[in-house]
């Protein structure tokens, strides 16, 4: 038993090392790498990814895990948690044949570039053959995984372990109806001229980073085309943002979003859990909830701007706008065809559109060749607007081109959880808005650590939320949050 | 045979991938990494280094190489070159037991930090126990390697494959005598106030990078505490420099030096050689010759400043010095105790000092406990100055602390080769100084590519120089160069 334990900890440690190195290769590709390094970079990443997959699916690890699982009662509670979670990961990964993994990842690589080209020319037909093939392979994938119930479950589970479409569907239907009503009521338009050049935008992000006490010896911020967070190792987490001249607050909200991810990553379980499968998020939805919490629940609240505006005003001259103007500007509700530009009210309608389409694709109720029309009609139905081109419509997101079907629901799950966290925080610490207005971000971070971060993957996502907030996924909380804020 | 060939190319490709990834981990550590990432970074690097070493020493690879080597006459000329070189690498690596490799690298890691501490406090006695232990292990290493002749050969050969101390000693003795004479004759002092703030220093480097047409899609420049060059992959080579307020030209000469390394790396053999042991430098001395060529032979020549000064003057106002002043300033000959600050004349005396000490250590003619005194006395003898402290004396270089005994001679070999390259260029293209004064750096780069870069490791270093310059290592060329320039 000692040997088996030693082996599983050693293998998990190796997986952690490789995972961190792959993160660095990816981070570097997006922030630093000279353009012509791309070909070799793909080779480096896929080589190490293959090694990582081989480790997870090796017979040696499988045998050790099965051996330990059969002797669970003799394990310490920590070892038991690790063994149970690892067993699930190993078993799931071993269901998928390695030659299939290779075929799929090759297809994803070429599909991504075909999507880039198709999007540039706004021509869905150029992407269609790759998309059809991807869907075909993903259906094969669902057959291997074979979780039962709706076929879409097999895909959702990759990002939101334990979540099922049967549970999600009524939540999304409820949201759809409520959000359409809110959108009709709140729609408006408000333009604002904000005097922030790129240097000022950087300064504004810096002020925020200081307020949330990001430790520069464990964290850094850079720029990249699309903002993201990378964990390179336990004490090395990095975010990126982008500074746009014509969207002066976009970089700031990106920073808030990514900082939410980064605080989470920096607070994951350490000690004996440090190099295990436990030191990770239980789902993408939980991860997203942390980002949305700082970006929206905190960052788009009036109380935040009451606190933050004077700090900005003092350091950035020529801002030329009042606190209340900023608040209105960052909270305007609008019908837009583009997901990433959507406000808090309409955003989840974009997600519901994608989730419904994906679920129908994998029920084989949609002919992919008609996807453009399906998309446009659903957009009209849900948001009351119609894309003028493929670029603004069915080609707007890269997710499908990289094989990420089943990913979108996590965004909405994250939004719902973020509102639940706010109410639970209020239950434990009194008025949330008083906390924010006083800039007591340390208290907020500590609460998130105690209730969410320190557990890593010890529980499934919904169980974690149930323990922290007293209830599982509850879309009513999110609607209540929007109503209290906007109505 | 086809299988064996496939295997050796595949394994070399894997080694190339790992080598590139390790370079990135190291580059990132020195340029970007948040400080507290260090512990995990060391784990990442040593994990992948172990994998790399395992690949090189595996029985599978060894058997394939031996099999192919026994059938050499049936191989294509390219495959034969690859097999012969790989065979040497494999056989050398397999002479060293893996547990010894691990013991040594652990000792090197802690010795480095002990050196840092000892140097900070300028106390050799704090470093002494580690140094003694390192020397002991390195003697064990010499026994494993067992090349014959002077024991120091085993160490020199790690950096300067094929070179022997018996060959080097008379060259160094010749240089020593000549350089001491030149130093007596040329010593002088000349101070200059140059108006270059950090932004100007960057601008100056940029002007140079454009003049030598560095391709920004394959190359980048950053800052780090100590300048270095990293090859991440075939089309991704990076250099660093450092901008110092009180040494306004230091960053510029660092850039020239590292650019020399980078041009070489970017021009190494591709095609079928791309992921093989051939796509590398045959020795550190050759690599160094490329750096010294651009830094000194080009960058410290009067013809270079005739060309470059007007470009700088045009873009940097407030420079406040004349061309001839800069030329004099960057060529002043001085007796200094510090190697990295030495001029072209005295620099090699610093190297000869270290080489003599190292050779005597491994002949066991020096008691390490007396190294401080040995150092100081040799310094007095060779350079006529005496260090005031350990920090400025025996503790000034980090090489020993990382186990790099036998490394120093490559610096002087590089300096000698760089002068030989200049005269060979002159033989083929007419006046070298006319080329430089006209800024015909493209012609110079092409010549270096044709004579040196494109061969990679096809030949041993001295053979490569013999083919390109018509003669092997010849210190007289270097002395002639100095005399023509300074006397």
Are the Cβ atoms of B39 and A235 closer than 8 angstroms?
yes
Residues in chain A with CB shorter than 8 Å from the CB of B48 are 21
A439 dihedral zone (left: phi>0; alpha: psi -120 to 50; beta): left
Q: Which of A160, A161, A258, A295 is catalytic?
A: A258
Report chain A's terminal Cα–Cα distance, integer Å: 60
d(CA B50, CA B52): 5
Domain span at residue B186 reads: 152-487
Q: Do residues A72 and A1 lie in contact, with contact meaning Cβ atoms separated by under 8 Å?
A: no
What does the pLDDT look like over A156-204, one tens digit per residue?
999 999 999 999 999 999 999 999 999 999 998 888 888 899 999 999 9
Mean pLDDT to the nearest integer, B275-279: 98
Confidence band for B109, pLDDT divided at 50, 70 and 90: confident
Total number of domains in chain B: 2
**Model confidence pLDDT, tens digit, residues A60-93:** 999 999 999 999 999 999 999 999 999 999 999 9
Identify the pLDDT of residue A460.
97
Shared-domain flag, residues A356 and A417: yes
Q: Which residues of B touch A35 (CB under 8 A)?
A: 217
Domain edge (last residue) among A123, A151, A179? A151
Measured between beta carbons, the chain A residues lying within 8 angstroms of B47 are 14, 17
Instruction: Pull the structure tokens for residue A26.
Output: 């990816």
pLDDT in tens, A98-132: 999 999 998 998 999 999 999 999 999 999 999 99
CB nearest B40 (choices: A14, A20, A238): A20
Residue B481 near residue B177, CB atoms below 8 Å? no
pLDDT of B190 above 90: no
Find the closest chain A residue to B33 by CA distance. A236
The answer to the question of residue A156 being in a domain is no
Q: Give whole-number Cα distances, B420 to B307, B343, B423, B442, in Å.
A: 23, 19, 5, 19
Residue A317 has pLDDT above 90, yes or no: no
A320 pLDDT above the threshold of 90: no
Considering the domain architecture, whether residues B82 and B178 belong to the same structural domain is answered as no
**pLDDT value at position B195?**
84
Cα separation, B373 vs B361, in Å, equals 14
Element (H, E) at A380: helix A371-383
**pLDDT computed for residue A159 by the predictor:** 98
* Cα–Cα distance, B300 to B297 (Å, whole number): 6
Are residues B201 and B347 part of one domain? yes
Same domain, yes or no: B140 and B246: no
In a domain, A137, yes or no: yes
Instruction: Please tell me the distance in Å from B45's CA to the nearest CA on chain A.
Output: 9
Q: What is the mean pLDDT of residues B458-482?
A: 98
Q: Indicate whether A207 and A291 sit together in one domain.
A: yes
Tell me whether residue A258 is one of the annotated catalytic residues: yes
| Mean per-residue pLDDT of chain A | 96
Please name the residue of chain B whose CA is at the shortest distance from the CA of residue A42: B17
Model confidence at A318, pLDDT cuts 50, 70, 90, reads confident
pLDDT band at B189 (very low <50, low <70, confident <90, very high): confident
Q: Give the 3-state secondary structure of residue B146.
A: coil
* Residue A158 resides in a domain: no
Q: Tell me: do B144 and B191 sit in the same domain.
A: no
Are B40 and A232 an interchain contact pair (Cβ–Cβ within 8 Å)? yes
The pLDDT tens digits of the residues spanning B448-468 come to: 999 999 999 999 999 999 999
Neighbouring-strand partners of residue A236: A233
> For residue B313, how many other CB atoms are within 10 A of its CB?
13
Helix axes B441-451, B461-469, angle to 10 degrees: 120
User: Which of chain B's residues have a Cβ under 8 Å away from the Cβ of A39?
Assistant: 235
Quick check: A21 and B21 CB within 8 A? yes
Distance from CA of B354 to the nearest CA of A (A): 37
The CATH number covering residue B430 comes to 1.10.1370.30
Which carries the bigger pLDDT value, residue A318 or residue B391?
A: B391
Q: Are residues B483 and B431 in the same domain?
A: yes
Q: What is the mean pLDDT of residues B52-60?
A: 97
Residue A123 to residue B93: CA distance in whole angstroms: 55
Cα separation, B83 vs B90, whole angstroms? 10
**How high is the pLDDT of residue A195?**
84
Integer angstrom CA distances of residue B57 from A439, B7, B430: 58, 14, 48
**In chain B, which residues touch A (CB < 8 A)?**
14, 17, 20-21, 24-25, 28, 32-37, 39-41, 43-44, 47-48, 215-220, 232-236, 238
Looking at the structure, tell me whether residues A352 and A240 fall in a common domain.
yes
The angle at the Cα of A264, spanning A261 to A269, to the nearest 5 degrees, equals: 150
The count of other CB atoms within 10 Å of the CB of residue B363 is 12
Catalytic positions of B are 258
Residue A322 has pLDDT above 90, yes or no: yes
Interstrand relation of B229-233 and B236-241 (parallel, antiparallel or unpaired): antiparallel
Question: Concatenated DSSP letters for B229-266?
Answer: EEEEETTEEEEEE---SS-TTHHHHHHHHHHHHHHHHH
Q: How far apart are CA B367 and CA B299, in angstroms?
A: 41
> Is the model's pLDDT at A283 over the cut of 90?
yes
Q: Read off the pLDDT of each residue in B33-59 and give the average, rounded to a whole number.
A: 96
Q: pLDDT tens across A332-361, in order?
A: 999 999 999 999 999 999 999 999 999 999
Q: Are residues B161 and B146 in the same domain?
A: no
**A221 and A97 co-located in one domain:** no
pLDDT exceeding 70 applies to what percent of chain A? 100
Q: Would you state the pLDDT for residue A434?
A: 98
Helices (H), A231-370: 250-266, 284-292, 302-315, 323-329, 347-362
* pLDDT at position B170 over 90: yes
Residue B209 banded pLDDT, cuts 50, 70, 90: very high
Say if A260 falls within a structural domain. Answer: yes
Q: Is the pLDDT of residue A292 over 90?
A: yes
Nearest to A40 among B217, B236, B238 (CB): B236
CB–CB of B233 and A48 under 8 A? no
- Residue B144, pLDDT > 90, answer yes
Give the pLDDT score at B97.
Answer: 94
Are A245 and A210 in a shared domain?
A: yes
In Å, how far is A298's CA from the nearest CA of chain B? 27
* A217/B36 CB distance under 8 A: yes
State residue A189's pLDDT score: 82
Query: Does A157 fall in a domain?
Result: no
Mean residue pLDDT of chain B comes to: 96
ipTM: 0.94
Q: How does pLDDT run across B77-96, given as a tens digit for each residue?
A: 999 999 999 999 999 999 99
* 8 Å CB contact of B215 and A36: yes
The verdict on B112 and B234 lying in the same domain is no
Q: Decide if A236 and B36 are in contact by the 8 Å CB cutoff.
A: yes
In tens, the pLDDT along B398-456 reads 999 999 999 999 999 999 999 999 999 999 999 999 999 999 999 999 999 999 999 99
Among B96, B123, B151, give the residue marking a domain's end.
Answer: B151
- Among the candidates B99, B117, B151, a domain finishes at B151
pLDDT digits (tens, 9 = 90+) for A435-459: 999 999 999 999 999 999 999 999 9
Q: What is the pLDDT of residue A376?
A: 98
Does the distance separating the beta carbons of A36 and B218 come in below 8 Å? yes
Nearest CA in chain A to B274: A40
């Amino acid at each position: 038993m000692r040997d088996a334990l030693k082996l599983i900890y050693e293998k998990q440690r190796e997986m952690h090392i490789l995972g961190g190195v792959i993160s660095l290769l990816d981070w570097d590709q997006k922030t630093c790498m000279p353009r012509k390094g791309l070909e070799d970079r793909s080779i480096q990443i896929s080589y190490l990814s293959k090694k990582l997959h081989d480790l997870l699916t090796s017979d040696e690890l499988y045998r050790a895990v099965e051996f330990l699982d059969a002797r669970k009662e003799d394990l310490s509670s920590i070892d038991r948690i690790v063994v149970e979670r690892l067993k699930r990961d190993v078993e799931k990964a071993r269901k998928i044949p390695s030659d299939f993994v290779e075929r799929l990842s090759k297809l994803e690589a070429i599909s991504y570039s075909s999507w880039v080209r198709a999007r540039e020319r706004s021509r869905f037909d150029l992407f269609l053959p790759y998309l059809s093939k991807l869907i075909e392979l993903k259906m094969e994938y669902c057959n291997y995984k074979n979780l039962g119930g709706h076929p879409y479950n097999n895909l959702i589970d990759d990002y939101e372990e334990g979540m099922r479409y049967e549970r999600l569907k009524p939540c999304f239907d409820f949201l759809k109806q409520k959000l359409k009503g809110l959108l009709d009521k709140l729609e408006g338009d408000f333009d604002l001229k904000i005097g922030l050049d790129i240097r000022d935008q950087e300064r504004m992000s810096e002020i925020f980073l200081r307020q949330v006490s990001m430790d520069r010896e464990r964290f850094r911020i850079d720029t990249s085309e699309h903002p993201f967070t990378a964990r390179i190792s336990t004490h090395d987490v990095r975010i990126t943002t982008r500074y746009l001249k014509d969207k002066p607050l976009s970089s700031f909200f990106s920073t808030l979003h990514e900082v939410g991810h980064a605080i989470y990553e920096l607070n994951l379980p350490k000690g004996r859990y440090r190099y295990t499968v436990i030191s990770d998020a239980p789902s993408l939805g939980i991860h997203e909830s942390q980002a949305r919490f700082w970006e929206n629940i905190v960052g788009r609240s009036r109380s935040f701007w009451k606190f933050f505006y004077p700090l900005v005003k003092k350091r950035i001259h020529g801002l030329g706008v009042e606190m209340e103007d900023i608040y209105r500007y960052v909270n305007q509700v609008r019908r837009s065809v583009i997901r990433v530009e959507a406000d808090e009210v309409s955003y989840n309608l974009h997600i519901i559109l994608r989730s419904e389409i994906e679920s129908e694709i994998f029920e084989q109720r949609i002919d992919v060749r008609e996807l453009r029309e399906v998309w446009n009609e659903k957009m009209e139905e849900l948001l009351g607007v119609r894309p003028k081109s493929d670029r603004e419509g069915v080609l707007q997101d890269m997710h499908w081109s990289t094989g990420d079907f089943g990913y979108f629901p996590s965004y909405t799950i994250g939004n719902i959880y973020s509102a639940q966290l706010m109410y639970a925080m209020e239950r434990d610490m009194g008025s949330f808005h008083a906390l924010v207005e006083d800039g007591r971000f340390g208290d907020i971070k500590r609460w998130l650590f105690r209730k969410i971060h320190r557990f890593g993957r010890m529980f499934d996502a919904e169980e974690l939320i149930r323990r922290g907030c007293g209830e599982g996924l509850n879309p009513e909380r999110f609607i209540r949050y929007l109503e209290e804020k906007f109505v």
